[in-house]
Amino acid sequence: MSTMVSLAVFPLDKGESVSPYVARVVRLIRESGLPHVLGPMGTVIEGGTKEVMDLVLRCFEDLERDCDRVYMVLTADYRKGGEGRIEKKVRSVLDKL
Amino acid sequence: MSTMVSLAVFPLDKGESVSPYVARVVRLIRESGLPHVLGPMGTVIEGGTKEVMDLVLRCFEDLERDCDRVYMVLTADYRKGGEGRIEKKVRSVLDKL
Amino acid sequence: MSTMVSLAVFPLDKGESVSPYVARVVRLIRESGLPHVLGPMGTVIEGGTKEVMDLVLRCFEDLERDCDRVYMVLTADYRKGGEGRIEKKVRSVLDKL
Amino acid sequence: MSTMVSLAVFPLDKGESVSPYVARVVRLIRESGLPHVLGPMGTVIEGGTKEVMDLVLRCFEDLERDCDRVYMVLTADYRKGGEGRIEKKVRSVLDKL
């Protein structure tokens, strides 16, 4: 069983350059040890549903500490019996091109 | 402090009519006692970050029980010092029209 | 045929109070004459795919005029043969509770 | 000026394996000639706002042709004066780790 999430989370009260805050979030994701892929619009993480959602909560609460407004967009995709989908999903599409 | 989330969660393996599954999710939201508003594209819920995210996890895991693939779109908006924003936010926009 | 979209669009460079910008977007939506519902996390609009997407583009470009950074979250749901879904979808869920 | 979008679009009435439909969408994105990055949860595309949104509309309408229900999640990020952000954004975060 595998859940993949795509996570984008950033402050709304710190002006238009939010990369220092995004870097803090990425550090938390790395420390989790879960497979992940950094992208230009968000980070994809794979794991069990509960462990992935716990990590998402930790990232969000980390920004709450010193931001007055925080926005998040999360998409999640659970598939029974799947695993290693963070790599397989792209390959499965490329094979059909 | 208040976090609002907009939650849409549904199975991908049950055909195009997913309202029975959405109804199960709405029942869990109601039982939580948290302020919420049903909309045509998702449900908005307000509460503390952790209690809202715990509820989201419960909804997602409820569909995992009998669905082979589950998809979720979640947006979250935290604002320090805010509360009752589920009503105030719309009014604040209407006042400016 | 009907497409519903849920639209949230706002600047990232104007501080944490973005309701004046959201109000401008809502005015454009109203002027379009398309059925819509204002919610605390976004506005749901129903129409033909092309007319709804043209409106979304107009809203986004309106903020580009005086904002240096603009963020948007859009979800869309097309259903063949559907119409008036902006009302029916909620009722269809409530009937199953 | 640059707008990046993250696009996920798929049918809800074709069962849990949607990669053939995703492949059709990716083919349209490739044919557009716009810079893009395939990811496990969606494809990021960069371009002018109008050209990117026109492409998104084309992808959505392509699935409408033979799908009875189509779902889309789109996030967009416009930044004045930016360009080549599809590569720079990730590097800018990595530099801060």
The residue in chain D having the minimum alpha-carbon distance to the alpha carbon of residue C63 is D78
Nearest CA among C42, C51, C40, C50 for reference residue C73: C42
pLDDT in tens, B5-17: 999 999 999 988 8
Determine the CATH number of domain C2-94: 3.30.70.930
CB pairs under 8 A between A and B: 79
Residue type, position B4, single letter = M
Per-residue burial over C51-90, b if 16 or more Cβ lie within 10 Å, else e, is ebbebbbebbbbbbeebbbbbbbbbbbbbeebeebbeebb
Q: Is some CB atom of chain B closer than 8 A to the CB atom of D73?
A: yes
Query: Which chains touch D (3+ CB pairs under 8 A)?
Result: A, B, C
pLDDT in tens, D39-95: 999 999 999 999 999 999 999 999 999 999 999 999 999 999 878 899 898 998 999
Residues 5-24 of D with CB under 8 A from A: 5-6, 8, 16, 19-20, 22-23
Q: What is the pLDDT at residue A1?
A: 63
In the numeric block, which tokens belong to residue D41?
Answer: 């949860």
Sheet holding B42-47, edge to edge: A36-39, A42-47, A2-11, A69-79, B69-79, B2-11, B42-47, B36-39
Segments of chain C scoring below 70 in pLDDT: 1
- The DSSP H or E segment spanning A91 is helix A85-94
Residue A73 has its nearest CB partner, among B50, B70, B75, at B75
Residue whose token pair is 């350059």: A17
Residues A87 and A94: beta-carbon distance below 8 Å: no
Q: Residue C15 forms beta bridges with which residues?
A: none
Quote the ipTM score: 0.95
Distance separating alpha carbons of residues D94 and B23, to the nearest angstrom = 42
Three-state helix/strand/coil letters over C28-93? HHHHHCCCEEEECCEEEEEECHHHHHHHHHHHHHHHHCCCCEEEEEEEEEEECCCCCHHHHHHHHH
In the numeric block, which tokens belong to residue C25?
Answer: 């977007």
In the numeric block, which tokens belong to residue C33?
Answer: 């004459």
Is the pTM value of this prediction over 0.90?
A: yes
Per-residue pLDDT of chain A (97 residues; tens, 9 = 90+): 699 999 999 999 998 889 999 999 999 999 999 999 999 999 999 999 999 999 999 999 999 999 999 999 999 999 998 788 998 989 989 999 8
State the DSSP string of B56-70: HHHHHHHHHTT-SEE
Task: Give the lowest-confidence range in A21-30, B36-45, B79-88, C1-10.
Answer: B79-88
- Minimal CA separation from A97 to chain B, in Å: 23
Contacts of residue A79 in chain B, CB cutoff 8 Å?
68-69
Contact yes or no for B40 and C85 at CB 8 A: yes
The residue in chain B having the minimum alpha-carbon distance to the alpha carbon of residue A5 is B72
Q: Is some CB atom of chain D closer than 8 A to the CB atom of A41?
A: yes
CA A7 to chain centre: 3
A46: which residues sit within 8 A by CB, 6+ positions away?
A: A2, A3, A4, A34, A35, A36, A52, A84, A85, A86, D40
